[in-house]
């Protein structure tokens, strides 16, 4: 009977030790390196560890997690700007790929694409020709007003205020038309250069497409 009780007690103690071993939680330490390159360890998370960044090390010396150092407000702001720039670049690249795909789908041949590019230039040329015609009309109107004023001056007659006002107003109209023509001609030059770039890009896309097939 005593032997049986002793055996039960031993078994109970062994079971208790086993359960305790199974339920024992692993221990961790914090390891970091200071500004001088010296390593430090701590059982609790310290301000220096957060300042320099730290490793969470288990009881076998293995790193189970790495945490980067805390950033200063200036560094956080710079990191935020960098992230925003990268996001904008990624968005632009995605949009470019979408446009490239649309171009290849809409214009299966280079000739078809060239026609589309030329149509854009033709539209701008029409606008320029319209502006030039309007400018000639407005310049003629200004010349007529100036001729009337010159005739009055040669006749030793005063130039009425309404005529001077009309001349000033007409000069503004002519100036506006000339500025508009300059902008349209500049836009035409820019469009022609862009067409060359777009055509080159189209050729590169077609070459890549043919290579992939």
pLDDT tens-place string over residues 41-51: 988 888 888 88
Q: Where is the domain boundary, 81, 106, 131?
A: 106
What average pLDDT score do residues 120-129 get? 97
Domain count, the chain: 3
Domain residues for the domain of 208 are: 108-212
The whole-number average pLDDT for the span 23-31 is: 75
pLDDT of residue 9: 46
In eight-state DSSP terms, residue 72 is P
pLDDT of residue 72: 82
Beta bridge partners of 29: 57
Say yes or no: 208 and 117 in one domain. Answer: yes
Cα 118-119-123 angle, rounded to 5 deg: 115
Task: Measure Cα distances from 140 to 31, 149, 152, 155, 170 in Å.
Answer: 87, 14, 19, 22, 10
Q: pLDDT tens, 74-114?
A: 988 998 999 999 999 999 999 999 999 999 999 999 999 99
Banded pLDDT at 27 (limits 50, 70, 90): confident
Residues 48 and 117 in one domain: no
Q: For residues 127 and 134, is the Cβ–Cβ distance under 8 A? A: no
In terms of domains, do 122 and 81 share one?
no
How far apart (Å, rounded) are the C-alpha atoms in residues 109 and 97? 19
pLDDT (0 to 100) of residue 50: 85
Residues 35 and 85 in one domain: no
Outline where DSSP puts E strands in 59-191. 63-67
Name the one residue in this structure whose structure tokens are 């310049």: 139
pLDDT (tens digit per residue) in 168-205 = 999 999 999 999 999 999 999 999 999 999 999 999 99
182 with 118, same domain: the answer is yes
pLDDT (average), residues 131-157: 97
CB 31 within 8 Å of CB 39: yes
Token pair in block for residue 151: 């005739």
The residues facing 188 across adjacent strands are: none
Q: Is the pLDDT of residue 11 over 90?
A: no
> How many CA within 13 A on the CB side of residue 175?
6
Say if strands 39-42 and 28-33 run parallel, antiparallel, or are unpaired. antiparallel
């Amino acid at each position: 009977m005593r032997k049986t009780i002793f055996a039960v007690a031993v078994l109970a103690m062994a079971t208790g030790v086993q359960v305790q071993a199974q339920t024992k939680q692993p221990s961790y330490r914090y390891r970091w390196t200071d500004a001088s390159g010296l390593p430090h360890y701590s059982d609790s998370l310290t301000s220096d560890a957060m300042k320099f960044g730290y490793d969470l090390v288990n009881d076998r010396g293995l790193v189970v997690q790495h945490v980067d150092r805390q950033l200063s407000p200036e560094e956080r702001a710079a990191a935020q700007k960098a992230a925003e720039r990268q996001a904008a670049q990624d968005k632009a690249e995605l949009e470019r790929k979408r446009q490239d795909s649309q171009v290849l789908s809409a214009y299966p041949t280079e000739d078809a694409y060239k026609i589309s590019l030329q149509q854009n230039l033709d539209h701008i040329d029409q606008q320029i020709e319209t502006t030039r015609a309007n400018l000639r009309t407005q310049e003629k109107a200004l010349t007529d007003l100036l001729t009337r004023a010159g005739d009055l001056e040669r006749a030793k007659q005063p130039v009425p205020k309404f005529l001077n006002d009309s001349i000033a107003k007409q000069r503004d109209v002519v100036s506006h038309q000339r500025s508009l023509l300059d902008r349209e001609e500049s836009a035409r030059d820019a469009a022609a250069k862009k067409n060359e770039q777009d055509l080159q890009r189209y050729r590169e896309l077609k070459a890549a497409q043919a290579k992939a097939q």
